[in-house]
Amino acid sequence: MSEDHFDPGWGPALRILPLMMLPFVGMLRAVKSANSLMVMRSLWMLFVGAIAAMGVMAVVVLFADGIEGAMSQSLALVIAVGISVSAQLLVGRMVADPDLSAETVFVPSFQRWFFARVAAAEVAALVSFAMFIASASPLVYFVGGAISLAAMWDARPGRTRLSRFQAAADEETGLSVVRALERRGLTR
């Protein structure tokens, strides 16, 4: 990324992350922030942490004795993987790439793109967790959680993704992707 498209990295997002864990304080600060890139990165880290926390619960059940599920592991795995993969494929088809024509349309379209992908990744985690509870098989969550984490990795608003959008913007309009995201807050 060139100098005129400076990306400060994940530092600002890491500073607000502890506040995001306080239900009202962190979210109020995030909503009022004029830097939507920092807010999206903080939320991304929070959601990845939630996926990992559900994985810890699956590990606890893995080492517990005498827990039986109401559903077979194979059926739970088929349902979890089917819905998880379907959610990823659907979001890829239903949500268009961000509109790079102007800053005023880019920021809301990028946020829509980001939050739709994060939501689809969370669908994978939540369905896998529900199927894990129904089957009492941690393998179901580990597989679904891996799909969810891979989808979250793809949705992250990191330098690589922003560089790709910046390259496309340079060819089309010359829009500064990072600067646009840092100057505008979350759209409603």
pLDDT score at 7:
57
For 108-148, what is each residue's pLDDT tens digit?
Answer: 999 999 999 999 999 999 999 999 888 888 889 999 999 99
Distance CA 153, CA 150 (A): 5
Residue type (1 letter), 12: P
Share of the chain above pLDDT 90, in %: 30
Q: What is the pLDDT, as a whole number, of residue 15?
A: 59
Output the pLDDT for position 80.
93
17: left (phi over 0), alpha (psi -120 to 50) or beta: alpha
Phi, psi of 173 (to 5 degrees): -130, -20
pLDDT of residue 1: 46
**Across residues 151-164, what is the average pLDDT?**
90
What's the CA gap between 149 and 140, in Å, rounded?
Answer: 14
Query: Of 166, 152, 176, 136, which Cα lies nearest the Cα of 43?
Result: 152
Please report the DSSP string for the chain in residue order: --GGG---TTHHHHHHHHHHTSHHHHHHHHHH-S-HHHHHHHHHHHHHHHHHHHHHHHHHHHT-SS---SS-HHHHHHHHHHHHHHHHHHHHHHSPPPP-S-HHHHHHHHHHHHHHHHHHHHHHHHHHHHHHHHHT-HHHHHHHHHHHHHHHHHH---HHHHHHHHHHHHHHT---HHHHHHHS----
For residues 136 and 71, give the distance between their C-alpha atoms in angstroms, rounded to a whole number: 8
Q: What are φ and ψ of residue 152, in 5° steps?
A: -65, -40
pLDDT digits (tens, 9 = 90+) for 26-84: 666 666 667 888 888 888 888 888 898 888 888 887 777 666 777 888 999 999 999 99
Query: Mean pLDDT across the stretch 90-106?
Result: 89
Contact 30, 20 (CB under 8 A): yes
User: What pLDDT score does 92 carry?
Assistant: 85
